[in-house]
Structure 1
Amino acid sequence: MTASARPWVLALGLLTALRLVAAMMLPPAPDEAYYWIWGRALALSYYDHPPMVALWTAAGSGLLGDTALGLRLLGPLSVAVASVLLARAGNALFPASGAGYWAAALLNGTLLFSAGSVLMTPDTPLLVFWCAALWAWVQAHLRQDGRWWLVFGVLAGCALLSKYTAAFLGLGVLIWMIAAPRARHWFRDWRLWAGGILAVVVFSPVLVWNAQHDWVSLVKQGGRAGSVGTGSALRYLGELIGGQIGLATPIIFVLCVAGIAVACRRFWRGDAAAGLLAAATIPAALVFLWQSTGSRVQGNWPAILYPSACLAAAGYLSPRWHRWRRWGISVGLVLTAMVLLQAALAPLPLPRRSDPTLARLGGWQDFANRVEELRLERGASFVAAEEYGLASELALHLPRGTPVIALGDRWDLFNLPEPPPGGRGLLIRSTRRGEAEPLWPQSEPAGEVSRRREGIEAERYRIYNVTVIGDGPRKVALPSRR
């Protein structure tokens, strides 16, 4: 380890330790609880996403139990590995400049990567394998060794097993080889095509599952690209750009945009390495911008743009930009610490409308305890919910052995048992769903209960008395904590 690398490695180790502490302290979000259900009902793929997040959740829970840290264990650890690989890619592209360390530091300064890595969502393994595949791509270019395409293929396949947006990796490579004269010779190398075949083989479980289920997952995700929303194009575009400025943090966002702009200019002048970074960023960015002209682009979707953009910012911007790197990283890490601190300890008594951490993370264990008290008081044999996140949170937080029943179309494709008929239970339903009748037939209103954190209400729920009958949507019994 060189003297210049030692402080960076120590900082990464400290940051990883802090992320593990945060992962242990933060209550699981509804989507994380939902992915925990996936890990307890492993399948080749799922309606919402490919299976990598389920595998990671199952592995962590198998090691540390059905705890918050167990669900998230692989996130902070793998993000540290991804940071090292991104740094190695940058140091190889820009030798003797330390640009790789700066690129990884910039990426770790974004809320998308830094705070996002604490939570277990499909974006976490996606970004890890994206960084690893980008590193392999850089090695193939710099070493001119086709064996690296085999490595790239396996890593790109793992990225595809994480989230479908990893397809932009293959598109980026194709555009780069077409546009960069120095890269076109790869079309004649069999190892490039073998790498593509390896990617498809790794991804094949998702294809098999989709073939068995009328291609529902691919149709759903592909349909999003052409969907039309109810808002104006300017509104959606503004939300996309404003969201990225916030999630990347303002200074790092500007640095990334400026870095990619310089990379595009250098690529125009014949720099194949600059073209590599531009091809890894621009095609996906253009697709997201196009989609925002007709529908909302979720803030986490463009996360794949930042590894290559951070490399460009660290490697191509002139020295007059360098002082902004430290400011960007510092501001990003401070904002990350503030968000995680508020989510874990809520030092600021903010209402729901001002605190997204309250809405998603606040008060789940106390809420589950209150629901269990009501179940016992009323002699109910189970608890049920229509919303997948609410049902998953209840399954994760209710005492071991308390049955939780989920209902709705989302559960049709899970291999989970149906509850026996005749049982009487409580249906918990958020008041956000309005006054419409519950999906459960023959339900009887029975009061309300709220979820709170430090006395501040996060959400209110209606309670209904229900009985398991054959009518209505499919009902499944969710796994409970081990």
Structure 2
Amino acid sequence: MLQTKKSPEQILFIFLGIWTILNIIQASVVEVHPDEAYYWMYSRFLDWGYFDHPPMVALFIKIGDFLWPSTLGMRFLTVISSSLSVFFLWKIVKPYGENIKLFILLFSAVLLFHVYGFITTPDAPLFFFTILFFYVYQKYLASDQLKWALLLALVIACLLYSKYHGILVLLFTILSNLSLLKRPSFWLIVGVATLAFFPHIYWQMENNYPSFYYHVIDRSAAFYKLKFTTEYLLAQLALAGPLVGWFLYRAAVVLKTPDTFIRAIKVNFFGIFIFFFFSTFKGRVEAHWTLPGMICLFILAYLYLSNRTVPKWFERLALANIALILIARLVLLIPIPFLMKNKSVAYYFGNETWAKQIQEKAGDAPVIFMDSFQEPSKYNYYNRTTKGFSYNSRNYRKNQYDIWSLEDSLRNKRVYWVGRDSKGLAGQDTLETSKGLYYGNWIDSVRLYQKVSVNPVEKSVLLGKNQPRVLKLRITNPYDEDIYLGNDAGEKWPCVLEYGYKNGPDLSEFRLVKAANLQKLRIPAKQSVVLNAEILGPKEGGMYKLIFSLRTDPFSGARNSNMIKAEVH
């Protein structure tokens, strides 16, 4: 009996089976990345928004963790959505060339696609909904029907709920086809998508736009470094495939087609990679931020090669590329001693042991970690608690721990304070952990004002060199109880208001703010006070960022203000 040749769909589903099983194994065995633990914390406090990202990743984790409270559960929807992404990606490219073996070869060769086959970060839903957006947009272009318009609107909302990078996909898609503006259904799409996304917009308004401030202002580097650009360019080559990425980029660039849909893919491809290239002049760009552009790169490279004879040397090089990726995935399953010196590899090992070792000392008490949203999140995830907290000092960045009510529950309680640096306090513990040496200290009646806002009434500040200047400071108490900022309210730990400047990578030494009534200052719950405060300008002229900090012993002081523009003459 003659064996029937398998159809492209049959081959695709065989590949999907293998891809899904591989990702399930990886998702089950590999320890959580610290960022994944942070997003698991998101899922403990479901909301319409978070400091760093929209809420889709929290929903992904919440659903999976509810079904299976395990690393597989955390990553379950990522595994499923990754396989669905492959299916819809094939549906997108199939009308232009039906070469399933080439499709599988190219997809498997793109390193970044493997990462989001099992790792659950906001990029996992971004990956899925970007592909789904292009699939539905392709249908909408071919048939301007109400069903496609409404479905596209809902997919757009999901895309925006996944990660803010989805805005770039929408922008470049519209720029590629301005005739969309003439379609009545286009404005229906805009209206429905906006309505569906409005809860997140309202959340931003209610919380003073923390995501906008962080991504647009706070992440800007103080000055440009050439390595921001060179690292970005090299990373894009590596993520497209360490051996074949250069050829995929070449194929995408030289492909010519009058097709309206493919024009959208090309504009997104060029637009996203160029946008983040110019972003390197503002600060460091994470390599994976170009994920939507990488999807476009794949589509364009496939279209270019599917209508040509694929060179044998490229096939061999792609297979070698896939072998390297599979070896890298294997490395995450088995701790190889000499590779553990690599920070990116070490991230995935020893986390659970570390969390249990600290929990042995802390018991059921709250635990405070210094300047890390990742460490308390790892501690919380592996101990199935929310008692780990991040103290974000003025030398660190703000994050979701500055918004959650976790800090409120710690005030005046006994806590265990853990860090890598010795504080030299009496009774300090030395902890030998799987992640190295840590030090622990018990603190009675802890005093924290991390969420208190201290900002000048004016938007920017003009200062004279080494000259005093009186500012009106608005100090806002976000808590449900009155607070006293002075040291005359019977508090165990003293509290002082300080200020410092930044015009390079480091902060200046902080000085005391001079304010007549600060020692007896009482701020009612959920209210603000305005007081006159004197500060001294820096000794040198130039542009600075002014920062105010409330320091309560024994901590180093929180960042209680925005990065305030200060011009010194």
Bin of the TM-score, shorter chain as denominator length: 0.7 to 0.9
Rg comparison, structure with higher value: 2
The aligned counterpart of 1:135 is 135
Alpha carbons of structure 1 residues 131 and 474: separation in structure 2 relative to 1, 3 Å: same
| Cα distance in 1 between the residues matched to 2:246 and 2:129 | 25
2:420 to 417, 424, 430: 430
Is 1:285 aligned with 2:273? yes
- Asked if residue 395 in structure 1 is aligned to residue 391 in structure 2, the reply is no
Partner-residue secondary structure (3-state), 1:319:
coil
**Per-residue deviation, residues 459-481 of structure 1 (Å, max 9, x unmatched):** 43222222242345369xxxxxx
Matched residue count:
440
Q: Is 1:253–2:245 an aligned residue pair?
A: yes
- Within 2, Cα distance between the matches of 1:89 and 1:322? 24
Q: Which residue of 1 aligns with 2:322?
A: 333
Alignment correspondent of 2:8 = 4
2:428 to 440, 446, 456: 446
SS at match of 1:300: helix
Is 1:199 the counterpart of 2:183? The answer is no
Residues in 2 aligned to 1:100 and 1:282: alpha-carbon distance in whole angstroms = 26
Kept in 2: contact 1:130–1:166 (CA 8 A):
yes
1:157 aligns with 2:157: yes
The corresponding residue for 1:26 is: 30
Which residue of the other structure, out of 371, 395, 413, is the alignment partner of 2:403?
Answer: 413
Tell me, in whole angstroms, the C-alpha distance in 1 between the residues paired with 2:348 and 2:130. 28
TM-score between both structures, scaled by the size of structure 2? 0.71
Superposition CA RMSD, Å: 2.8
Q: Structure 1 CA distance, aligned partners of 2:321 and 2:416?
A: 44
Q: 1:353 to 1:404 in 2, by over 3 A?
A: same
Per the alignment, residue 88 of structure 1 pairs with 91
Question: What is the aligned partner in structure 2 of residue 370 from structure 1?
Answer: 357
Inter-CA distance 419–313: structure 2 relative to 1 (3 Å threshold)? same
Q: Deviations over 1:141-199 (max 9, x none)?
A: 34465753432222122111010010012112211113xxxxx2x33211112112222
The percent of aligned pairs where both chains have the same amino acid is: 20
Deviations 1:405-448 (A, max 9, x none): 443353232244733555434212134xxx7x6xxxx9657243
Matched, 1:345 2:334: yes
Contact 1:50 1:160 in 2 (8 A): yes
Q: Distance in 1 between matches of 2:105 and 2:149?
A: 27
- Cα 1:403–1:50 change in 2 (3 A) is closer
Structure 1 pair 192–422 and aligned structure 2 pair: CA distance change class (3 A): closer
Residue 480 of structure 1 corresponds to none
Equivalent residues in 2 for 1:36-51 (5 A)? Answer: 36-51=40-55
Of the structure 1 ranges 82-91 and 384-393, higher mean CA displacement relative to structure 2 is found in 384-393
Structure 1 partner of 2:168: 168
Structure 2 letter corresponding to 1:190: P
Distance in structure 1 (CA, Å) of the matches to 2:281 and 2:6: 48
The letter of the residue matching 1:248 is: A
CA displacement at 1:43 relative to structure 2 = 0.8
Partner Cα separation in structure 1 for residue 82 and residue 214 of structure 2: 29
Of structures 1 and 2, the one with the larger relative CO (CA 8 A, separation 6+) is 1
Deviation at 1:83, TM superposition (A): 0.9
Measured at CA, do residues 147 and 246 of structure 1 come closer, stay the same or move farther in structure 2, by a change above 3 Å? Answer: same
Change (3 A) 1:90 1:384: same
Distance 1:459 1:322, change over 3 A: farther
**8 A Cα contact 2:51 2:210, kept in partner:** yes
Cα gap change, 1:365 to 1:228, in 2 (>3 Å) = closer
Shift of 1:5: 2.1
Cα deviation for residue 388 of structure 1 reads: 1.4
Assess, with a 3 A threshold, how the Cα gap between structure 1 residues 296 and 161 changes in structure 2: closer, same or farther. same
Q: 1:448 to 1:107 in 2, by over 3 A?
A: farther
Q: Which 5+ residue runs of structure 1 have no aligned equivalent?
A: 179-183, 453-457, 476-482
Which structure's residues are more often helix, by fraction?
1
What residue in structure 2 maps to residue 237 of structure 1?
Answer: 229
Q: Which runs of 5 or more structure 2 residues have no equivalent in the other structure?
A: 393-397, 453-569
Would the alpha carbon gap of residues 91 and 218 (structure 1) be closer, same or farther in structure 2, given more than 3 Å must change? Answer: same
Residue 401 of structure 1, CA deviation: 6.6
Aligned residues of 2:31 and 2:348 also touching (Cα < 8 A):
yes
Task: Tell me the equivalent position of 2:488.
Answer: none
Deviations 1:364-406 (A, max 9, x none): 1211222233335xxx7343223211111111123x5794344
Secondary structure (helix, strand or coil) at the match of 1:74 reads helix
- Verify: 1:78 aligned to 2:66, yes or no: no
Deviation at 1:215, TM superposition (A): 1.3
Give the Cα separation in 2 of the matches to 1:444 and 1:99: 70
Taking structure 1 as reference, are residues 100 and 418 closer, same or farther at Cα in structure 2, changes over 3 Å only? farther
| CA displacement 1:35-93 (0-9 Å, x = unmatched) | 1111010111001000000011111111112x11111110011111011011101012x
User: Which residue is equivalent to 1:307?
Assistant: 295
Equivalents in 1 of 2:22, 2:230: separation in Å?
33
Is residue 129–residue 155 contact of structure 1 (8 Å, CA) maintained in 2? yes
Aligned mates of 1:101, 1:53 — CA distance in 2 = 32
What TM-score does the superposition give when structure 1 sets the normalisation length? 0.83
Classify 1:278/1:119 alpha carbon distance in 2 versus 1 (closer, same or farther; 3 Å).
same
